Structure 1
């Protein structure tokens, strides 16, 4: 049974602006609703490895292994800096332009998935978030973790879709000015750099 307390906690966590939200907004503004949906899907599936790690106990290994944690962490930092470059580079994959560009949905989703996969704090986060909401029955703990994780993923996808479609709806209004587009690209780049900096100082 999924408790109201878990739903409220999960919802608060999901709506908080993070890397996935920023990426989905960038895709919605830059390429429209289709790209926003693929971005939301990719970010959601990027959660799966971390949920599995938390369920199988691998998150504890990651938490105690400084070397493994830092390898994944700095790969994530490098990837976020790459996305920042793609936001400000002319013709970059994340650049917001007035021209409607169409990228393959798989490519958009893959970037979104990597954003979450390369964030080692997510595994530790789920290891802390899910267990307090278990019934305490060891025989059903794995099933309960899977159910809670599935609900969290469903909430993530739904909220990210709303964010993305909102951004896509605002596309025509916000992209009517060259100055606004320049400001948006620089802002997205700055946000990715800031998130990379925050991830870089995280500890296991």
Structure 2
């Protein structure tokens, strides 16, 4: 991959990562609930799902998903239902007054698993990478190396954006969680966002 093509990939990857979606909402919710440092576990789960999507496209299965309306819709509605479930659970979660600096320490595996499922159950990501990836792959060059460079670049960019932008931005809302009313409001806001993204995923074709 030439440097000019790689810099184009970096610009495109940054634009994609900065576009708010379920991953960004999940990251901000984790940062608020468990702290900025521990929010990395959810981000890592999202990256494993992202790598899975790239692998699916590289293996050619993405063509099957894109060409099978039934398979696509099954995965799409499953993903939408999962996001709505997360939203309802977040919305209904009990608020508890927190002392300054006190956070509920959700297990790392729980955050990792949720991040994995949030991104993994989004078939639009497969279709997106199916259209996105060929722009940066040259068939006459070694494919494995090119896919490795693409995957590493996209993952690093997404980790940086999620952790140092979305998770860091959520820290500014941390003071609200020190009051029961503020915590309840944030639970409802993020719960509503999860539900909204889930509904959009199910409704938009």
- Could you state the TM-score of these two structures normalised by the residue count of structure 2? 0.88
Q: Are 1:104 and 2:107 counterparts?
A: yes
Residues 92 and 188 in structure 2, CA contact (< 8 A), matched pair in contact too: no
Q: Distance in 2 between matches of 1:123 and 1:97?
A: 41
Report deviation, 1:97. Answer: 6.3
Residues 14 and 156 in structure 1, CA contact (< 8 A), matched pair in contact too: yes
Trace 1:24-35 onto structure 2 (pairs within 5 A). 24-35=27-38
Match of 1:53 in 2: 56
Q: Distance in 2 between matches of 1:4 and 1:55?
A: 21
Match of 1:192 in 2: 194
Greater alpha carbon shift after TM alignment, 64-73 vs 172-181? 172-181
Residues 30 and 171 in structure 1, CA contact (< 8 A), matched pair in contact too: no
Residues 26 and 96 in structure 1, CA contact (< 8 A), matched pair in contact too: no
Q: Deviations over 1:91-110 (max 9, x none)?
A: 4xxx7863521121011110
Distance 1:141 1:97, change over 3 A: farther
Report deviation, 1:181. Answer: 1.9
Report deviation, 1:174. Answer: 2.4
Greater alpha carbon shift after TM alignment, 53-62 vs 35-44? 35-44
Trace 1:55-204 onto structure 2 (pairs within 5 A). 55-91=58-94, 98=98, 100-137=103-140, 139-162=141-164, 163-167=166-170, 169-170=171-172, 172-203=174-205
SS in 2 for 1:7: helix
Report deviation, 1:73. Answer: 0.8
Residues 88 and 195 in structure 2, CA contact (< 8 A), matched pair in contact too: no
Match of 1:14 in 2: 17
Alignment size in residue pairs: 198
Report deviation, 1:178. Answer: 3.0
Residues 76 and 202 in structure 2, CA contact (< 8 A), matched pair in contact too: yes
Q: Distance in 1 between matches of 2:198 and 2:9?
A: 29
SS in 1 for 2:55: helix
Which structure 1 segments of 5+ residues have no match? none
- Could you state the TM-score of these two structures normalised by the residue count of structure 1? 0.89
